Structure formats: C-alpha cells, structure tokens
A and B are shown apart, each in its own frame.
Chain A
Amino acid sequence: MKSLKSPSDLEKLRKDILAKKDPKRLAIAACVSTGCQALGAQKVLEAFDEEIKKQGLEGKVEIKETGCLGFCEKGPRIVIYPEEIYYFQVKASDVPEIVSKTLINNEIVERLLYTDTVTGKKARYLSEVPFYKYQNRLLLESNRKLDPKKIEDYLAIGGYAALAKALFQMTPEDVMNEVKDSNLRGRGGGGFPTYRKWESTRNAPGEPKYVIVNCDEGDPGAFMNRALMEGNPHSILEGLIIGAYAIGSHEGFIYVRQEYPLAIENMETAIKQAEQIGLLGEDILGSGFDFKVKIHRGAGAFVSGESSALMTAIEGKVGEPRPKYVHTSEKGVWDKPSTLNNVETWANIPLIINKGAEWFASIGTAGSKGTKIFALAGKVNNTGLVEVPFGISLRDIIYKIGGGIRNGKEFKGVQTGGPSGGVIPKQHLDSPVDFDELTKLGSMMGSGGMIVMDEDTCMVELARYFVNFLCDESCGKCTPCREGLKQANKILNGIVSGKGTEEDIKKLEKIAEVTSVASLCALGKTSANPLLTTLRYFKNEYDAHIKEKRCPALACKELISYYIDPEKCKACMICHRNCPADAIIGEKMKIHVIDQSKCTKCGTCYDMCPPRFGAVKKVSGEPVPSPIPEEERLIKRAKKEKRD
C-alpha cells in the first residue's frame, strides 16, 4: 500500500479494500485473544487448517483471527461466515464435523450452539444469546469483525474516517468542543472529565506536549483494556492521534504492561502499518500535522498505573507517584505538559467525532455518558467482558447478562473498582451503575473490574487480601500508606486466624481514616475502601471472627476444620489417595476419618470427594464431631440399604 496524501486517497483505498471483499465468501473467524488461547484456541485453528486441506476446501475458506468477543466463559469461540453461525466451546476434535457439516453442507452442529441456561433453547444468532442481548457494544462490537493485525480490516469498517474528519473538517478547537459536549469522563478509574485534562495540557506553557495511553491495567480482575488493545489497536491509535491534534501534541506514548505480550505485539503492528500508509508520522494524510508514537512496556508495579508514577516510569525511573499540587497535565513526562488517558477513553474518541457529541451524550445517565466495559468475573455463570450503557443496574449485569450465581449459591456481594474500590452488598443490587452512584455506596467505578462473590467468600478474608495486596504494592514513599497498610494487614491477619480482639475494629477504622486523608497518591488515599465497605456492610462477619472465632463463610483456614460425614462416606479412597498430608485414615469398605492432628486444611479432600457423595464437610466455631467407633466403620451392603 502506498502512502496516503489526502482524505480522498483514504476513501479510495477503503473502496478498493471493500471491492475486494466478497460478502458471500466462506470464512471462519476464531478469537485468538489471551483468554481463548488459554482454552486452546490455537489448537482449534491448527485443526481447521489441516481439516480444510483434507476435505478439499483449500483456498475456498478464509481463516480469520480476531480479538476478544467477551464471552470468555464459553471459549474457544468461532464464527462461520457468511451465515454468522456462532459455535462455543469448540474443541479440536469438533473440527472435522464442523468442516464436513457446516462448511460443506451448510448444516448446523447443534451441540456447539449456545444453549440458554434457563429455557434450554439453542441460540442460532448472537443476538439471541442473553449475554449479548442486554449489552450495548459500541467499542467491543468491532472486535469480532476484524483481524487486529490487518489495517485493511479496520479501514473496511470505516476506520480512520474520524481522523480524516478531524484533520480536514474541524479545527483543534472544534475537536475540543466536541469532546467537551460529549461529557466523556476518563475510563481509568477516577472519572475525571476528559475535556478538562486536554484543555489543561493544551493551554499549559512548554513544548513538546505529550499524549499518553494508559494500558497498565494493574487492577486485578480487569481486562477490558487488554481486550481492546489486542482486538482493535487501531481504534485506540486513531483516538490518540485525534487527541494529539486537538491538544497540539506531536509525540505520544503507549504504556502497556509487559504481562500483555499480545497487546504489545498487536499495537506494534498497528503502529507500523499506520506509519506505512501515512496515518502516522509526518504530514498525516497531507494535513501538515505530524505525530509519532512509541510503546513503553511497564515492568510490573501496580502503583505505576497512577498518572504521575506512570510518567516517571516512561522517563526510565522507578515508577513512584509525586504530590499532585502541580498537575501532570501541566508538568508530566520530563516536566512537559502531558495528557494521560485510559485505553477505553481513547477508543471512544473516534466514535464521538464520527457520530457527534449529541449522540454520545444521549447514552447513559446525567453525570456519566456513553458505555462502560466491565470485566465480569468471579462466581457468576457467564464471565467475560460486558459493555453496557451507564445507568444499568448491578442486578441486570449480574443476573440478566451474567446469568446469576454459579451452582445455585447465594449472592453475597460484588466487588467493583479493584483494590481501590469496595464490596457492594445485596441490598444495593438495584443501584444504577455510574461514576457517582458507586462512589456514594463507598466503592468506585475504577477501571471496570466487577467480581461477584457468593456465600463461600469471607468478607474479612477479602479485606485482608486487598490490604495485603496494597501493602505489597505500596511504593513506600509516604508514611501513612506504607505504615498504615502494614499495621492494618497485621490486624486483619490476626482476625482471620482467630486472634482478633474487640479493639481491632476501632484500630482499623482509625488507620483507614489516616491513610485516606494523609496519603500522597490515589493508591494510598483509596486503600481503605475495601476495608471500610466490608466493615460497613458485613460487620457481622467481623464480629463472628472476633467474638466467636467463627468464619461464617467457612473460608478462613485457621478457623475451620474438615471432617468426613460417616453417613455419606462410601469409602471410595479418592480423598485418601489425594491427601498430601496423609491425614486420612481409611481403606476399602471402611468409612474414612480425618486425623485432625495431621490435617493441614488444604481442602484437597473437599474438592476431590465426588459431588454425589459430598461426604467431606467443613465446620467453624464448633468442635469436629467425634469419629464413630471403629467397629461401625465397616460398610456392609445390608446396612447401607437399610440406611437408604
């Protein structure tokens, strides 16, 4: 492809690409994002390659590799065009049948279609799958249509039209106004108005100015940025170039954590391709506007996702935050004005420019416009990426889209906002999801992690988990965060191991107050949220741990014991064989017993006992029932029948 010198060159190229595409051509599109790869997508693709040759379809079927479609729970997922048939949980062994039936004879392989968990109906089209039905996929939708390694695919769906529009039909001020009117707020966590950040960098003295994409995504439980960057890197790049044009920046950075190698690879390819055809570099599309961009790999530090810390990391130093009385938008990378936005924020820009601020602002709630991608994970049936308009209720996300709680268990809480967020309990399930509502509940939007917890998750242990996480990740620069978290961690460790005292709660509240007020950066200031929300909504669990030395969720190792229910044990030896501590006494036809003095409470027996027996039990706050006398442990047929 030759370099494009004008918007009409771009349109001509687009036409050429579209002319070459045959909408009736047989094609298989498979998701090859990290998630589906972990489930064996690569093997499925290899099987297709082989099988297509074997069954004489070579050259007649196009195999496309696409990004994440969101429904990771049911991966690997493939789509067959032109009919758009969606198959879920495809294994390499299913491939010969798919090729002979669907590709050659146009028949459907029923068992690979999505089955509705409630009605039992098979879903022929994507729109019939409840997981997708209730979403509004403005950003993620494109992932299924394109191969992220091919700029042609992005151009075919209208890519870079927004850039051409911005450069040739709009002044930088027009772009600024459009973003202002859209009310777009930063998707990285804080929800700061994007326009204000841009304006501050634009007006700040000092050259050069920098624009930066934040794909540090350090929040455990969030992976929407990864999916966007792996699946549609050009949309982020296009947004970034438009932003740079509005702000007056000619140099940008894309900061990606090194844990996301595929995102880095796809973004590198995207940059090269955009440079080759004149969409990046000097004199973009003949507009006279220059812009270059570099990828910076993050070396793994949670705090580096914070804006000032990220910018120090870009300078090649230890990624520590600094006080914010001077904004990074005025003095950021090498003390130059720098605008940092999250991946998702940048990806929204081309949409706003193409469809207009009014359209964008019509989606969402009064204070939060547009859609937000959430990473729905944990104990919910349908895990994956969910893109919904702001204002949808937590209940709709978890029950309508997420399909409710796994294994028929009871919902206990949903954790939003990562380690800086909090746990929202059942009574607030009908709250609308937007920046301000979540903050009111004591949690926050964060980058969009949403982890659902059921009755088996202990809230004290969860608070301990987050405090421990933050304790590890605290850079140690300021005392309230470094020391406060360490003390809170110590106290919580005491409570979960049954050594808590009644004063502990007061101490925790005091520590939380100080770290929230006196810490230097957002990591420290919000570090108390998981602690405070669990104290606010699940105080009874803290009380049970402290006063009764009991873990109501039966999760805290030190406070539970395992035993085998003699009524249910079938003496099958499975637990006995798998116990790593040799703590299970038993033989064939003889009911097993756990030797409490040897038991390390690893839970292997609990996991291994076949669910139809369910003989391994947990107790907390009460003694283990004493084992039945030796002579009664022998299982006799007659006795068993009698019992039944």
Chain B
Amino acid sequence: MYEDRIDQIIDKYETEKGILIQLLLDIQHEFNWIPKEAIKRISERLKIPYSQIFRVASFYTALSLKPIGRHLVRVCLGTACYVRGAPRILDSVENKLGIKSGETTSDGKFSLETVNCLGCCALGPVIEIDGKYFGKLNSAKLEKILSSCN
C-alpha cells in the first residue's frame, strides 16, 4: 500500500548526494512512521545497504520505527520547562492517557513522546500536539486540550 507514495518521495531526490535523512524525514512525515517497506525500497533504489538505513532510522529521535497514534503528544522536558514543572505535566499526561512516554494507546488515538526542547522556553511548561504548541500549561489547561482531540 505504501509503494507508490514511497517511490514518489524518492523521485524527488534521487540524483542528490547525502539525502537519506531528508528522505526518511519525508517518509516519517507522510506515514507518521518508517515502515519496513520504505527501508527496503530506499535500499533497492539508492543502493544503500538495508542495515545502514536501519541504523540512521534508529539513531534519530524524529524517526520512528513503530506506527504512531492519530495524535502525537510531545511533552517538552527542556531545562526551562523542567524547572517550571514539566515533570508533573508529563506525569499528568501519562496518567490521563494511561501510557508511558514512547507508547501508543491501545485504540491508536494517542502517542506520547518527550522532547528535549521545543524552543518555546519562555513559556514553559510547553507541550506540542500534532504540530500545535501550547504554552504556560497547568493541569486544568491540559485536561481541556487533551479532551479537545478526537
């Protein structure tokens, strides 16, 4: 089911040098994860060993080798958020969703990740859901934001 789209993404770059990471980021963006088929296809077309692509895909935090839920919740644990209570926000999200960081809810609705810094340090604690940022969080705000995801 992924083949055509994967080929289209590879076509965008094929002749360029050193594009593996960019390619994987695009695939991640498209499917929300890096399916095995994609690694195989890139390996065939770009003549890069499967193991090498797997190593890159497993090294970088932005690339996921597991499918991700419909909503990706990223809790910032950067220093500025940390000193303003981010660990408690993480605790609350974990409690509310019933999953730990790095996991996906069984209904496939939410995935939870922690990140090292979202660059909104003046507004800590911050979380990002599906690319949208929410600053100056507290438990009450969090409750509202999570329940507005469907």
Q: Which residues of A contact B (CB under 8 A)?
A: 34-35, 37-39, 72-73, 75, 217-223, 226, 258-261, 296-302, 313-319, 334, 375-379, 383-385, 415, 418-419, 449, 451, 453, 457, 462, 465-466, 469, 473, 475, 578, 580, 602-604, 607-608
Nearest residue in B to A580 (C-beta to C-beta)? B95
A419 to B80, CA, bound (A): 12
Nearest residue in A to B115 (C-beta to C-beta)? A259
| A-contact 0/1 string along B75-94, CB 8 Å cutoff | 00111111110001001100
- Chain B interface: which size bin? 35 or more
- Please provide the 10 A-B residue pairs with the shortest distance between their CB atoms, ordered closest to farther: A220-B78, A72-B122, A299-B60, A377-B80, A38-B133, A316-B20, A383-B122, A300-B61, A316-B18, A223-B119
* B136 contact from A39, A465, A602, Cβ within 8 A: A39
**A72–B123 CB distance below 8 A:** yes
**B88–A603 CB distance below 8 A:** yes
Cβ contacts under 8 Å, A220 to chain B: 77-82, 116-117, 121
6 CB-based A-B contacts, threshold 8 Å:
A38-B134, A219-B117, A221-B80, A222-B117, A378-B124, A465-B82
* B119 contact from A260, A418, A465, A580, Cβ within 8 A: A260
**B21–A316 CB distance below 8 A:** yes
A437 to B18, CA, bound (A): 40
Cβ contacts under 8 Å, B139 to chain A: 578, 604, 607-608
Q: Which residues of B contact A (CB under 8 A)?
A: 17-22, 24-25, 52, 55-56, 59-63, 77-84, 88, 91-92, 95, 115-124, 126, 131, 133-136, 138-139
**B19–A34 CB distance below 8 A:** no
* A318 contact from B19, B56, B77, B136, Cβ within 8 A: B56
Q: How far is the CB of A263 from chain B (nearest CB, A)?
A: 9
Number of A-B contacts (CB under 8 A): 161
Nearest residue in B to A476 (C-beta to C-beta)? B59
Cβ contacts under 8 Å, B20 to chain A: 316-317
**A316–B124 CB distance below 8 A:** no
**A221–B78 CB distance below 8 A:** yes
A38 to B131, CA, bound (A): 10
New A-B contacts (13) at CB < 8 Å, excluding given A223-B122, A383-B80: A72-B123, A220-B78, A221-B79, A258-B62, A260-B119, A297-B25, A300-B63, A383-B121, A383-B122, A469-B116, A602-B92, A607-B138, A607-B139
**B83–A378 CB distance below 8 A:** yes
**A375–B122 CB distance below 8 A:** yes
Q: How far is the CB of B13 from chain A (nearest CB, A)?
A: 10
Cβ contacts under 8 Å, A378 to chain B: 79-80, 83-84, 124
Q: How far is the CB of A128 from chain B (nearest CB, A)?
A: 21
**B61–A299 CB distance below 8 A:** yes
A453 to B24, CA, bound (A): 39
A175 to B107, CA, bound (A): 60
**A316–B56 CB distance below 8 A:** yes
**B117–A35 CB distance below 8 A:** no
Instruction: Give the dominant DSSP class at A's interface.
Output: mixed
Q: How far is the CB of B115 from chain A (nearest CB, A)?
A: 7
Known: A469-B116, A603-B88. A299 touches B25 (CB 8 A): yes
**B116–A73 CB distance below 8 A:** no
Nearest residue in B to A382 (C-beta to C-beta)? B122
**B79–A449 CB distance below 8 A:** yes
Nearest residue in A to B29 (C-beta to C-beta)? A258
Known: A219-B117, A317-B56. A451 touches B123 (CB 8 A): no
* B61 contact from A301, A418, A457, Cβ within 8 A: A301
Cβ contacts under 8 Å, A260 to chain B: 119
**A39–B83 CB distance below 8 A:** no
Cβ contacts under 8 Å, A419 to chain B: 79
**B62–A35 CB distance below 8 A:** no
Cβ contacts under 8 Å, A334 to chain B: 17-18
Q: How far is the CB of B109 from chain A (nearest CB, A)?
A: 20
**B119–A259 CB distance below 8 A:** yes
**B120–A384 CB distance below 8 A:** no
A607 to B88, CA, bound (A): 10
A87 to B122, CA, bound (A): 18
> Which among B17, B78, B84, B95 has the highest number of chain A CB atoms within 10 Å?
B78
Q: How far is the CB of A131 from chain B (nearest CB, A)?
A: 11
Cβ contacts under 8 Å, B79 to chain A: 220-221, 377-378, 415, 418-419, 449, 451, 465-466
Nearest residue in A to B136 (C-beta to C-beta)? A39
Cβ contacts under 8 Å, A75 to chain B: 123
* A315 contact from B18, B78, B84, B138, Cβ within 8 A: B18
Q: How far is the CB of B89 from chain A (nearest CB, A)?
A: 11
**B91–A299 CB distance below 8 A:** no
Cβ contacts under 8 Å, A38 to chain B: 120, 123, 126, 133-135
A449 to B79, CA, bound (A): 9
**A217–B119 CB distance below 8 A:** yes
Cβ contacts under 8 Å, B56 to chain A: 316-318
> Which among B22, B80, B82, B135 has the highest number of chain A CB atoms within 10 Å?
B80
**B126–A297 CB distance below 8 A:** no
**B135–A35 CB distance below 8 A:** yes
Q: How far is the CB of A176 from chain B (nearest CB, A)?
A: 29
**B117–A218 CB distance below 8 A:** yes
Cβ contacts under 8 Å, A299 to chain B: 21, 24-25, 60-63
Cβ contacts under 8 Å, B61 to chain A: 299-301
Q: How far is the CB of A306 from chain B (nearest CB, A)?
A: 14
Q: How far is the CB of A566 from chain B (nearest CB, A)?
A: 25
**A73–B122 CB distance below 8 A:** yes
Cβ contacts under 8 Å, A457 to chain B: 83
A604 to B87, CA, bound (A): 12
**B138–A39 CB distance below 8 A:** no
> Which among B78, B119, B123, B126 has the highest number of chain A CB atoms within 10 Å?
B119
Q: How far is the CB of B76 from chain A (nearest CB, A)?
A: 8
**B22–A297 CB distance below 8 A:** yes
> Which among A75, A376, A378, A419 has the highest number of chain B CB atoms within 10 Å?
A378
**B131–A261 CB distance below 8 A:** yes
**A259–B118 CB distance below 8 A:** yes
**B123–A319 CB distance below 8 A:** no
Cβ contacts under 8 Å, B91 to chain A: 602
A73 to B124, CA, bound (A): 10
A313 to B80, CA, bound (A): 27
**A602–B88 CB distance below 8 A:** yes
Cβ contacts under 8 Å, A261 to chain B: 131
Nearest residue in A to B53 (C-beta to C-beta)? A316
Nearest residue in B to A304 (C-beta to C-beta)? B60
Q: How far is the CB of A278 from chain B (nearest CB, A)?
A: 24
A181 to B108, CA, bound (A): 59
Known: A297-B21, A316-B18, A316-B56. A453 touches B119 (CB 8 A): no
Cβ contacts under 8 Å, B88 to chain A: 602-604, 607
Q: How far is the CB of A32 from chain B (nearest CB, A)?
A: 12
A75 to B120, CA, bound (A): 12
Q: How far is the CB of A573 from chain B (nearest CB, A)?
A: 16
Q: How far is the CB of A353 from chain B (nearest CB, A)?
A: 29
Known: A297-B22, A299-B62. A449 touches B134 (CB 8 A): no
Q: How far is the CB of A600 from chain B (nearest CB, A)?
A: 9
**A379–B122 CB distance below 8 A:** no
Nearest residue in B to A473 (C-beta to C-beta)? B116
**B121–A449 CB distance below 8 A:** yes
